[in-house]
Amino acid sequence: MRPNAVSFAAGNYQQYWSIMTPGPTPTFQNFTLTLPTLPGTAFKSQDLFCAGHSWNKRGELLVVGGDRYQTDGALRASSLAYTFAPNTTPVGNSMWKRESDLSTPRWYPTVTTMATDSGNPANPKDLVMITGGLDATTGLAIKTYEAFAPLLAAGAGAWEANPATPLPYPLFPRIFAGPTVASQWQYSIYPRNVLLSSGKIFTAGMGDKSYRVLHDAVTLLAPPFGKSWA
């Protein structure tokens, strides 16, 4: 982030956000980010309220998920993904770089910056895990995760995939299995994820169970569903 600068955002149909420079008399620069419209007559707008976020190792903020508003008044989950690059000049909406969308729209997902992937020493990746959240239509917990690689620059990231996953599951190459939870709600709103020094992701809550996974060694979610969490 720029020296002495703080950014914050609000939803409700439009994405209002500001940069505040602290001091005896704080100054504010206020902006309205125009988010992409949705095709079809059933959709009204979407925003990043109810999204998840985490700083990557380049000092950029990945923000994913959020709200999708429909013309019938229904509220659904969004699949938006943006990187906020605070060192971009000039200050303004160009600091927000759109990434390719999530495979699964998610309300309240947890975004966790993982350890550097050691699976390929010649080309290590700094991945970000997008975990859980609520389903767009059922309101139930999503017991899967996706892995995002920031790569070279904000707006040019990629979702980790496994093209060997068999059809007819074209989206499954980007979906990884979550833990086998005893209760639907143990992996719902903002799962409590922590990166351990071992490189594993530790999850505890919402319920009374806890889980660990090392993403380097996961089994891709594909029929039959693999289990990779301990």
3-state SS assignment for residue 225: coil
Note whether 50 and 108 are within 8 A (CB): yes
Q: How confident is the model at residue 97 (pLDDT cuts 50, 70, 90)?
A: very high
Note whether 206 and 193 are within 8 A (CB): no
> Which pTM value belongs to this model?
0.83
Q: Please write the tens of the pLDDT for every residue from 170-215.
A: 455 677 777 766 666 667 788 888 898 888 888 876 666 777 787 7
Task: Say which amino acid occupies 192.
Answer: R
Measure the CA–CA gap between 72 and 77, rounded to whole angstroms: 15
What does the block give as tokens for 213?
């996974």
